Amino acid sequence: MKKIFISTLFLVFMFASTTFAHSSLTASNPTDGQIVESNLTEITLKFDTGIESTSLITLTTESGEEIPVDISVNNDTLKAKISTELENGTYQVNWNIIGEDGHPINGSYLFLVNKSEEAEAASQADGVSGSSFNWVMIIVGAVVIILILSMLMKQPNKRRRRY
């Protein structure tokens, strides 16, 4: 039983990165909810796997007006160069990618532009958002596999009577 348990744990953690291989956003600049107090010229999104060159990013105002951007993809990074100066207000970043596993993934987040000199500094970490693995799913999967294997391997405890 001990060998099966150790083998199961080894296999779960050995193949965890391929089992949960969907691409996810690991960093962005600006970050979700960040207050930008200077002229923003570029949006950068970094993913935990490579992404296809057909990946897209759009930038819209709170009224739904799309801001033109020039998109470039470099392995795991999606960049959008902003050609116009952004006015004060809330903006939404929408991204659509195809990860190296072939699955389309999308997401969005908001940031605020406030270029007034009286604005308070935001206490945000620059460029970090999200995590590379969903460890909760890995742990739940390992527990489920262990429970199933232990149920399958459980042998009834029969005592033999000696006469």
Is it the case that residue 17 has pLDDT exceeding 90? no
For position 158, what pLDDT does the model report? 60
Separation of CA 123 from chain center: 22
Max mean pLDDT among 65-74, 109-118, 138-147 falls in 65-74
Distance CA 93, CA 37 (A): 17
Mean pLDDT, the chain, whole residue set? 79
Distance CA 98, CA 50 (A): 9
The structural architecture, per CATH, of the domain 25-130 is Sandwich (2.60)
pLDDT, greater one: 159 or 132: 159
Buried b / exposed e along 82-96 (16+ C-beta atoms within 10 A): beeebeeeebebebe
Max mean pLDDT among 7-21, 64-78, 97-111 falls in 64-78
Is it the case that residue 155 has pLDDT exceeding 80? no
Is it the case that residue 117 has pLDDT exceeding 80? no
- Count of H-run helices and E-run strands, the chain: 3, 9
For position 32, what pLDDT does the model report? 94
The percentage of residues in the chain with a pLDDT greater than 70, rounded to a whole number, is 69
- Count of C-beta atoms within a 10 Å radius of residue 60: 15
Is it the case that residue 143 has pLDDT exceeding 80? yes
- Count of C-beta atoms within a 10 Å radius of residue 80: 22
For the chain, the structural domain boundaries read 1-21+133-147, 25-130
The model's pTM: 0.59
- ∠ Cα 24 26 28 (to 5°): 115
Backbone angles phi, psi at 148, to 5 degrees: -65, -45
Name 10's Cβ contacts closer than 8 Å, sequence gap at least 6.
Answer: none
Stretch among 103-112, 118-127, 132-141, 150-159 having the lowest mean pLDDT: 118-127
Helix (H) or strand (E) holding 150: helix 135-153
Smallest CA-to-CA distance from 43 within 59, 25, 29, 60 is with: 29
